[in-house]
Amino acid sequence: MSKKIILSGARPTGDIHLGNYFGALENWVRLQDSYDCHFFIADWHALTTGYADTAGLPEYTISLMADFMACGLDPERSVLFLQSQVMEHAELFLLFSMLTPLPWLERCPTYKDQLSQLKDKDITTYGFLGYPCLQAADILAYKADFVPVGEDQLPHLELTREIARRFNFLYGPVFPEPQPLLTKSRVLPGTDGRKMSKSYNNTISFADPPDVVRKKVMSMVTDPARIRKNDPGHPEVCSVYAFHKIFSPDEVDDIGDQCRAGTIGCVACKKKLQEKLLAFHEPIHAKRARLLQDKSGLQALIAAGSAKARTQAAATLAETRRAMNLGT
Ligand code: TRP
Ligand code: SF4
């Protein structure tokens, strides 16, 4: 029996941090065991909001590939590729744009949110409105069965299914209706207790060297009610404790008890976390750095993965053109 097809992507807009890892990548790595996986760097999607400044794209693209691989995505087992090296996505995007009603795009919640939030950029563009249509092309070019994404992406998946349905209705059955794969992910707050996000400046990324990770741990926000070392604490409001849940599973219950009893101080608690966190972080950081020493090697892997993706997407496009009576 052939494996079910998975596809997901990430925009090359910065270094992968622990929030990204536990929110998505950890799952992607695991999915490689049982699915036919495709993971890609969505550089065209980065243009939808970042078209005016593309200077960082080459570096972000290469470092995202390094992040992918350092975290455990394996180019031998998964197709790892770059969107802009697979022109078929653009062709399918164009064809879908012909049959996607404008109101479907205009009522997309991510569209409305971003328009009101990204005030410093002019995103009243055709490309930004078409974002979900491009995403549908990414997914349907491989006839993906499942798309592992966060909840924020569910409206885009809904639109992907609507576009597939409309296409199949108009031209005959070509596309499946891909389902989201909402595997439970582990939530890790940022160093300040809010959601970990680049825009909050509260991330720990795999690009951070060990001494920076140590400093960031020491600066983490703890229970504000603890002023003296012996004050009883409330671990559930503390981001250090949230980290211990992931990095010190054997000790986390003890740590919670000691915190509540006021028998462990925050400095000692953070020192413990430094060691646990670095035992996880350091090998990934080191692998990432090693990979980035050979940029042309990474580029060659991206090119090889993209060639593989192209072969698959080309087969879908041939079928799509045939269904639409194009090119003959
Ligand atoms: N929109 C996704 C994000 O911002 C990235 C993305 C682009 C994607 N195309 C995709 C994700 C296709 C899954 C499938 O995270
Ligand atoms: Fe947080 Fe640990 Fe301090 Fe308790 S002792 S508040 S868990 S850092």
Per-residue pLDDT of the chain (328 residues; tens, 9 = 90+): 789 999 999 999 999 999 999 999 999 999 999 999 999 999 999 999 999 999 999 999 999 999 999 999 999 999 999 999 999 999 999 999 999 999 999 999 989 888 888 778 888 899 999 999 999 999 999 999 999 998 889 999 999 999 999 999 999 999 999 999 987 778 899 999 999 998 899 999 999 999 999 999 999 999 988 888 888 999 999 999 999 999 999 999 999 999 999 999 999 999 999 999 999 999 999 999 999 999 999 999 999 999 999 999 999 999 999 999 998 6
- The HSE-up count of residue 161 (CA atoms within 13 Å, CB side) is 12
**In this structure, is residue 193 part of a structural domain?**
no
Give the CATH number, domain containing residue 313: 3.40.50.620
Task: Say yes or no: 137 and 268 in one domain.
Answer: no
Task: Give the separation between CA 28 and CA 69, rounded to whole angstroms.
Answer: 11
Nearest by Cα to 96 from 140, 128, 126, 147: 140
**In this structure, is residue 218 part of a structural domain?**
yes
181 lines ligand 1 (CB under 6 A): no
Task: Say yes or no: 92 and 218 in one domain.
Answer: no
Residue 143: φ, ψ to 5°: 50, 50
**In this structure, is residue 269 part of a structural domain?**
yes
Mutate to test the pocket of ligand 1, among 5, 6, 7, 11 (most ligand atoms within 8 A of CB): 11
Task: Give the separation between CA 149 and CA 25, rounded to whole angstroms.
Answer: 10
Task: Say yes or no: 184 and 266 in one domain.
Answer: no
How many angstroms separate the alpha carbon of residue 49 from the centre of ligand 1? 13
Report the pocket of ligand 2 as residue ranges, CB < 6 Å.
222-223, 226, 233, 235, 238, 240-241, 259, 264, 266, 269-270
Q: Strand, coil or helix: what is 263?
A: coil
How many angstroms separate the alpha carbon of residue 265 from the centre of ligand 2? 7
Tell me how far CA of residue 220 lies from CA of 113, 190, 208, 245, in angstroms.
30, 8, 15, 15
Task: Say yes or no: 268 and 308 in one domain.
Answer: no
**In this structure, is residue 305 part of a structural domain?**
yes
Alpha helices in 72-153 (DSSP H): 88-99, 102-106, 109-117, 126-129, 131-140
**In this structure, is residue 328 part of a structural domain?**
no
Task: Say yes or no: 309 and 264 in one domain.
Answer: no
Nearest by Cα to 221 from 199, 191, 265, 259: 191
Number of structural domains (the chain) is 2
**In this structure, is residue 226 part of a structural domain?**
yes
Task: Say yes or no: 166 and 20 in one domain.
Answer: yes
- DSSP one-letter code for 19: H
Task: Say yes or no: 130 and 226 in one domain.
Answer: no
pTM for the full predicted model: 0.94
- The whole domain housing 85 covers 5-188+295-323
Give the CATH number, domain containing residue 246: 1.10.240.10
Nearest by Cα to 27 from 70, 60, 73: 73
Task: Give the separation between CA 114 and CA 242, rounded to whole angstroms.
Answer: 29
Task: Give the separation between CA 18 and CA 16, rounded to whole angstroms.
Answer: 7
How many angstroms separate the alpha carbon of residue 146 from the centre of ligand 1? 13
Rg (CA), the chain: 22
**In this structure, is residue 200 part of a structural domain?**
no
Task: Say yes or no: 147 and 232 in one domain.
Answer: no
